Amino acid sequence: NAGVTQTPKFQVLKTGQSMTLQCAQDMNHEYMSWYRQDPGMGLRLIHYSVGAGITDQGEVPNGYNVSRSTTEDFPLRLLSAAPSQTSVYFCATQNGASGANVLTFGAGSRLTVL
Amino acid sequence: AQRVTQPEKLLSVFKGAPVELKCNYSYSGSPELFWYVQYSRQRLQLLLRHISRESIKGFTADLNKGETSFHLKKPFAQEEDSAMYYCALSGLLNNAGNMLTFGGGTRLMVKP
């Protein structure tokens, strides 16, 4: 089992460019989420999904879109990148409401916006 | 609103010394608290959770509802404990699932 796979690991964008961070899981977990990690600010929730076809906003959703067409995939889209979106992004899964809030994290994607 | 505060960004101790990583929270309901850890070049992973009342790698944490704290403690630090530690709180978000709110993190450095 691969667990949670994030691609790409590193990306450099210019301001205004768009891109998609991919997240795939093979654990059949219901819940998936995206966090961004910034120094001194910890991890902040961007968007989350409690199942296929269901998404909702977290703490810092502006500038990001998500969709959940399958249980396995939860891509994060940046429509027009800004320098403030320079960060490390983590995808995480949880085994539904019974998962006792134990998150399984991906390896992270480091994004730099120039 | 729920909030988690880790007042120390960096904590440096010598090997064998006791260590305490502080975590304070604010939450109007009954909280579930966790500690997650990220070792160098490894993924974030769960260290322990208060409902389990367990000791993992020599670390313990007690939920103090009166002081709204969940400090992480270890009596004798080891060099392999050097890592980034995050305190997290579980609370209801938009009535759909219990999502975690993380603190700002504390980097623990254990010197030889």
Which of A2-16, A65-79, B13-27, B50-64 is predicted least confidently? B50-64
Instruction: Please say if the pLDDT value at position B55 is more than 90.
Output: no
Amino acid at B47: L
Give A61-78 as a DSSP string. Answer: -TTEEE--SSSSB--EEE
Q: Is the predicted pLDDT of residue B29 greater than 80, yes or no? A: no
CA pair distance A43, A45, nearest whole angstrom? 7
% of chain B with per-residue pLDDT over 70: 94
Partners of residue B88 on adjacent β-strands: B34, B102
* pLDDT value of position B95: 44
Task: State residue A100's pLDDT score.
Answer: 66
Determine which of B32, B99, B106 to mutate to test the interface with A (most A C-beta atoms within 10 Å).
B99
Amino acid B97: pLDDT: 53
With CB atoms and an 8 Å threshold, state whether A42 touches B105.
yes
- How far apart are the C-alpha atoms of A22 and A73, rounded to whole Å? 8
User: Are B100 and A105 a contacting pair at CB < 8 A?
Assistant: no
- Distance, CA of A101 to CA of B111 (rounded, Å): 33
Q: Which residue has the higher pLDDT, B18 or B27?
A: B18
**CA distances (Å), B92 to each of A22, A110, B1, B100, in order?**
26, 29, 10, 9
Interface of B with A in 72-91 (CB under 8 A): 86, 88, 90
Contacts of B6 in chain A (CB under 8 A): 42
pLDDT digits (tens, 9 = 90+) for B87-105: 999 875 544 456 788 999 9
pLDDT along chain A (114 residues), means of 10: 91 96 94 92 91 92 96 96 96 78 91 96
Q: How far apart, in whole angstroms, are the C-alpha atoms of residue B34 and residue B94?
A: 21
Name the least confident of A49-53, B43-47, B98-102, B107-111: B98-102
Q: Residue B85: pLDDT above 70?
A: yes
Q: Shortest CB distance from B100 goes to which of A56, A57, A103?
A: A103
Check residue B96 and give its pLDDT. 45
The pLDDT score that the predictor gives to residue A73 is 97
**Residue B33 predicted with pLDDT over 70:** yes
Structure confidence at residue B92 (pLDDT)? 59
Interchain CB distance below 8 Å, A105 and B44: yes
DSSP string, chain B: --EEE---SEEEEETTS-EEE--EEE-SS--EEEEEEE-TTS--EEEEETTTT--BTTBEE--BTTTTB--EEESS--GGG-EEEEEEEEEE-TTSSEEEEE---EEEEEE-
Q: What is the pLDDT of residue B98?
A: 63
Q: Which residues are A36's β-sheet partners?
A: A44, A89
